[in-house]
Structure 1
Amino acid sequence: VGYIFLEIFLNLRWFAVKENEAEPCLSLCVGGHTGGETLLPLHASLWKKILKNSPKKELVKKGTVANLLRLFQIPQISYASTSAKLSDKTRYDYFARTVPPDFYQAKAMAEILRYFNWTYVSTVASEGDYGETGIDAFQQEARARQICIATSAKVSRSMSRWSYENVIRSLQQKSNAKVVILFTRSEDARELLVAANRMNVTFTWVASDGWGAQESVVRGSEAVADGAFTIELASYPIPQFNDYFTGLHPYNNTRNPWFREYWENQFQCSLHDLGCGKHSLRETPFQPESKIMFVVNAVYAMAAALHNMRQALCPNSTKVCDALKPGNGRKFYRDYILKVKFDAPFRPPDTENVVRFDAFGDSLGRYNIFHYHKEDGRYTYRKTRKCPENFNEAKFIGFTMYTTCIIWLAFQPIFYVTASDYRVQTTTMCISVSLSGSVVLGCLFAPKVHIIMFQPQKNVSNLRVATTRFSVTTGPGSSFSQASASNVVPTVCNGREVVDSTTSSL
């Protein structure tokens, strides 16, 4: 079942991009800025009931999926929705996701700036929930780190190539801001790089997962992208699904209504011609969607929750018993979905990845940080090295300090009581110094050496940030009100907001 869903998911993602709309997804998954692609435990008749009362295009366009399903008390598990708004349980109290909310990567981006001491930057965001919510989260993190925002700009799908050049010109007006933060969709990031390349303008880019490690974003603009730091959700490939999908054929895969059109687009042929069906998906390089891992985790999480609920309510039955009828969405979400915890399926050996949700229905934030630069005559993405994602240095520092304090507190009375015997004092001093040094070596240095020498699989480049959350409001006067879309955006510098006349919202 999981493979079938993934196969249709890939075709629908392609179809949605091709048609520039997400409406075909509604039968199995829901596309939209707020609702995101979502796994729903729905019967077909219930879907018809929902869609009958809500025009499809309005459902998708306005991103009201989560609110709509709340009325029916239908839990959701999303594998692609990263909007921070969805953590608000007063509005989305049936929503869970196997991807982390965007404020995790906003915090990671701010940490990159702090590490390099880049304290004066410009920002560009895509219009819509992803870019605007993400950049708002970044600005809050920037304030906390005394990072100044020189100018802010927005880009939209409807912009022409010349409009992207105007954005680059607005960034150039702040000549001291050499670093630009991008919280944009991949197509907006690509157009910005193309415009910068035409204008022969270079910046140091720090970009969200909308850019990630996609070669299509930088193709043709490698020189102006040189030196960029980009963030991408940490994931791993699933070879089993790759083998399954590349073995599909339009004649043995009739259950998927979009597969024939996908096939014709892939090989630029018509299945009315005999030669078209002789191709194979193994002929061409297959690059699966990077979110496949999260789709698998969402499928397994929903299945695990259903399994646990059936075992709890129907302990003496292998079928659906009367205790499950009618279904209680609130109880299912609170008592079973939020309490799911299992090792992620298909993970590579020696890889730790647990699927579970916090009280907000969110998953842990794990990211890879890439540095795009020229290497051996060609440009490439290279992962940056960080401490292992599960390495918590704070507990080792705390234990070291506590133990050191105990040693020296014990030393003082011994030293003063034996003031008449300098030999005892000298011996006590030597022992205390030796113990202090041993504690530092054993508690701070030894754990790092142990991981490097004996657990190298944990010495990965994933960046796991803290789970501190930020507030998101949508009322008048908030960061998501109409006022935030004006042409004058506050410039934040050292905790103070000043109006910058050159700040633009394009």
Structure 2
Amino acid sequence: MRVLENNYTGRPEPLQCTGSRIFSRELRFARAMEFAIDEINNRSDLLPNITLGYEIHDSCAAVPMATKVAFKFANGQEPEFTLNPKCPNVASVVAVLGDSSSSASVGISRVIGLFRVPQVSHFSTCACLSNKQQHPSFFRTIPSDQFQAAGLAQLVKHFGWTWIGAVRSDSDYGNNGMASFLRAAQNEGICVEYSVAFYRTNPRSKVERVAEVIRRSTSRVIVAFMSSGDLRVLLEEFAKRPPPPLQWIGSESWVTDPEMLKSKLFAGAVGFGLERSVIPGLRPFLLDLSAAKAAQVPLFKMFWEETFNCELAKGETQMVTAQGVKMCTGTEDLSAVNIPYTDTSQLRVTNMVYKATYAIAHALHRIVCEDGLLSFPQCNRSIVAETFEVLKELKKINFTVNGYPVHFDSNGDPVAIYEVINWQVAEGGALKFVTVGRYDASKPKGHELSLSRNITWFDGQMQVPTSVCSESCSQGTRKAAQKGRPVCCYDCVPCGEGEISNETDSLDCIFCPHEFWPNSKRDECLPKPVEFLSLDEVLGIMLAVCSIAGACMVVAVTVIFYRYRFSPIVRANNSELSFLLLFSLTLCFLCSLTFIGRPSEWSCMLRHTAFGITFVLCISCVLGKTLVVLMAFRATLPGSNVMKWFGPPQQRLSVVCFTFVQALICTLWLVLSPPFPIKNMSHYKERIILECNLGSAGAFWAVLGYIGLLAVLCFVLAFLARKLPDNFNEAKFITFSMLIFCAVWITFIPAYINSPGKFTVAVEIFAILASSFGLIASIFVPKCYIIVFRPEQNTKKHIMGKVPSKSL
């Protein structure tokens, strides 16, 4: 329609439809209403003996023209406006069927709604028309876009598309429909890269900008909430420079329009369509249009001439040639052409026209032919059907026509049921509509959408295309939002230490339980490995072998000493203390075995107390030997009687006393705060150290301190006796052994404190073994060497230094 600008200096020109093209699909809708009215007028059970009349007006898909027609319906057909003090509240019609456009229906509703004239639309889907405060007399047989928008959002979510584009008609239909879709998409976690709008009458530059946005987008799925007319304008722009392959998701307005099938750009498109239906007798009615009938009606005349590309002479059908114009012959056959008007294979919106017509007829029937519980055998033709009565009865109708139920809810909407339509390529290369599923809004939430057939996507591919802003985050990672971008755009960040995610696209990582730790992929929590010094590992085996070897070495020395117990070298070195020392050294070597293996309550108590007592016994023996050597030298001085205080009883008593002190410390330790096994999870986060807690750290250091005190005392005394004149000086070897012992345990302290996990135990065992080997190597190995390999030196003279000794 051509819109004129008024200068307000003269009477404005009347609105007129312009353009040389007629949409035969809309003509089919109008003729479907004619067909339904003819059926009703010929029925005996619906409005018997009453003939319905009708008027058909072309709104030109323009709101101004639709509003003009609405005023005619409300005020009558008088061409002049007269001032009348009494304005009759009677419209010229009892109901209006239409319009196809939501914007036009809004314009009509705002006018005739004031007069409570009911309006039943067959194709206006804008959710805004469900608002009864603004549109109190509006009904429709086609579902509201509120349901379609929710269904399209579910469809997009079903195929995993989270990054989409959106284009809409800049009209009530497109704006309201897209607004509903965007709300539903947001609830489904779908992000929209862009949302653009235009109208067919916009400047070409705006259409070009919209097309360029679509071309440059990264999303591969586009939802088009548009009317067919607007989409054709966009197609013309894409014909100049096509966009990359896109998966089109369409609204009902264009996705079932047969004329749109001509565009290969939409191959693979998916969208919602009304249920396909069958109306018996409609096709013969549509084809029952001859050239003679067409010539009598301007609308049919235009349709005929456009369809057959000829010109109808008014009142004539013969062929005439005038100025090169081809005239119609009158033999043209509508059944031979393939146009939307004659295509009754996809009766979807046409059935909505059919149902709307019957809805109005049933409302009139309830007024004219029924009176409460009584039914008149003949309808009362004298009753004047008021518009408010028709409006009231429309709200209550509930019937079935041709197998299709007709009922309106409180918003004037029907139950929303759609078919999922897929544009597939037929054998001849042409596109066709294929029903691949169904959407029923009356079903429980989450079960509305059901697919029954495979879908062919764009480019003919069978695999579902991908359209995401960011690829899915695998297990072991979490989403991290990108600053300034939608939530669907994110980075995949590995889970932190001690965290996992066992789902794709996880928003957060979860911490593993206290005694569990993530695997390398950080998608599963595994029990932390328990670590302790065991006999199953090389270090434990080596220390155990050294411990047993040391004990065997002590046994071998004991055997040698026992075999040569009467020899001078054994007797000269206090054989009783020597055997006691060998016994204590055996215990020292063997006590290190208690440190190897899984700690238990008994092993934790045994290992530290056994270690403390055996080492004090060992050092006590060495200290006794040192005192004996030192005092024996002092006893040789004239007038000295000191040896009577260091005889065998005193030696035994000193060993018992020194050992008793350590035993008392260990007893108090075990009674007050004994060692116990613990799972140490603070040193290493990824594994558990099974170790012995000291219980009382003070008691532990008291045990070590007492051993150290005795060792230092023994070292000092041995150092004082190092220059004794005998040929085989015992004090020298004791001094050397105590030097090794002190050096080992001094270095043990920092190593023990700083060693992690099982190496703490290994350091302690190493100190025990090293000090034990130092004692046996320094004190007993030289003697055994003399006994076994130098028996000539094992004499009293040699020991007393009366025979020069050879250097060893």
> Is the structural similarity TM-score above 0.5?
yes
- SS of residue in 2 equivalent to 1:251: helix
Contact 1:179 1:203 in 2 (8 A): yes
2:161 maps to 1:103: no
Residue 182 (structure 1) aligned to one of 217, 221, 224? 224
1:369 — aligned with what?
420
**Aligned partner of 1:242: which letter?**
R
Contact 2:146 2:177 in 1 (8 A): yes
Residue 318 (structure 2) aligned to one of 270, 274, 277? 274
2:358 maps to 1:296: no
Distance in 2, Cα, partners of 1:186 & 1:84: 19
- What is the count of residue pairs matched by the alignment? 373
2:283 maps to 1:242: yes
TM-score, length-scaled by structure 1 = 0.62
Higher relative contact order (CA 8 A, sep 6+): 1
1:5-28 deviations in Å (ceiling 9; x for gaps) = 987815999xxxxxxxxxxxx943
Residue 287 (structure 1) aligned to one of 343, 350, 368? 343
**Aligned partner of 2:412: which letter?**
G
| Unaligned stretches of 5+ residues in structure 1 | 14-25, 55-59, 348-352, 397-447, 449-457, 462-490, 497-506
Q: Structure 1 residues 145, 76: CA separation in 2 closer, same or farther (over 3 Å shift)?
A: same
1:354 — aligned with what?
405
Q: Structure 1 residues 96, 270: CA separation in 2 closer, same or farther (over 3 Å shift)?
A: same
Q: Structure 1 residues 319, 379: CA separation in 2 closer, same or farther (over 3 Å shift)?
A: closer
Q: Pairwise mapping of residues 302-317 of structure 1 onto structure 2 (< 5 A)?
A: 302-313=360-371, 315-316=375-376
Q: CA deviation at 1:321?
A: 6.4
Distance in 2, Cα, partners of 1:202 & 1:196: 12
2:394 — aligned with what?
337
- SS of residue in 1 equivalent to 2:234: helix
Q: CA deviation at 1:372?
A: 2.6
Distance in 1, Cα, partners of 2:310 & 2:32: 17
Q: Structure 1 residues 316, 109: CA separation in 2 closer, same or farther (over 3 Å shift)?
A: closer
1:315-342 deviations in Å (ceiling 9; x for gaps) = 44624367x44x44334323x2112122
1:170-226 deviations in Å (ceiling 9; x for gaps) = 234442x2211111122332343454452452222111123213353253x41x433
Contact 1:36 1:81 in 2 (8 A): no
Q: Structure 1 residues 10, 282: CA separation in 2 closer, same or farther (over 3 Å shift)?
A: same
2:729 — aligned with what?
none
- SS of residue in 2 equivalent to 1:303: helix
1:104-145 deviations in Å (ceiling 9; x for gaps) = 211121011110111111111111111111111111111111
Q: CA deviation at 1:260?
A: 2.7
2:725 — aligned with what?
none
- SS of residue in 2 equivalent to 1:182: strand
2:210 — aligned with what?
167
Distance in 1, Cα, partners of 2:170 & 2:354: 30
TM-score, length-scaled by structure 2 = 0.41
Distance in 1, Cα, partners of 2:145 & 2:442: 22
2:696 — aligned with what?
none
| Unaligned stretches of 5+ residues in structure 2 | 1-25, 35-53, 83-90, 92-102, 320-327, 455-483, 490-808
**Aligned partner of 2:378: which letter?**
T
Distance in 2, Cα, partners of 1:230 & 1:169: 24
Q: Pairwise mapping of residues 112-261 of structure 1 onto structure 2 (< 5 A)?
A: 112-159=155-202, 163-175=206-218, 177-196=219-238, 198-219=241-262, 221-222=263-264, 224-252=265-293, 256-261=297-302
2:30 — aligned with what?
9
Instruction: Give the superposed CA RMSD.
Output: 4.4
Q: Structure 1 residues 315, 103: CA separation in 2 closer, same or farther (over 3 Å shift)?
A: same
2:76 — aligned with what?
47
Residue 383 (structure 1) aligned to one of 434, 456, 459? 434
Q: Structure 1 residues 7, 193: CA separation in 2 closer, same or farther (over 3 Å shift)?
A: closer
2:547 — aligned with what?
none
The alignment-based identity, stated in percent, is 23
Distance in 2, Cα, partners of 1:305 & 1:11: 19
Distance in 1, Cα, partners of 2:208 & 2:70: 46
Distance in 1, Cα, partners of 2:357 & 2:65: 15
Q: CA deviation at 1:308?
A: 1.6
2:119 maps to 1:66: no
1:266-315 deviations in Å (ceiling 9; x for gaps) = 22222325042232322323225752211111111111111122233384
Q: Pairwise mapping of residues 432-471 of structure 1 onto structure 2 (< 5 A)?
A: none
2:56 — aligned with what?
28
Q: Structure 1 residues 62, 164: CA separation in 2 closer, same or farther (over 3 Å shift)?
A: same
Q: CA deviation at 1:168?
A: 2.9
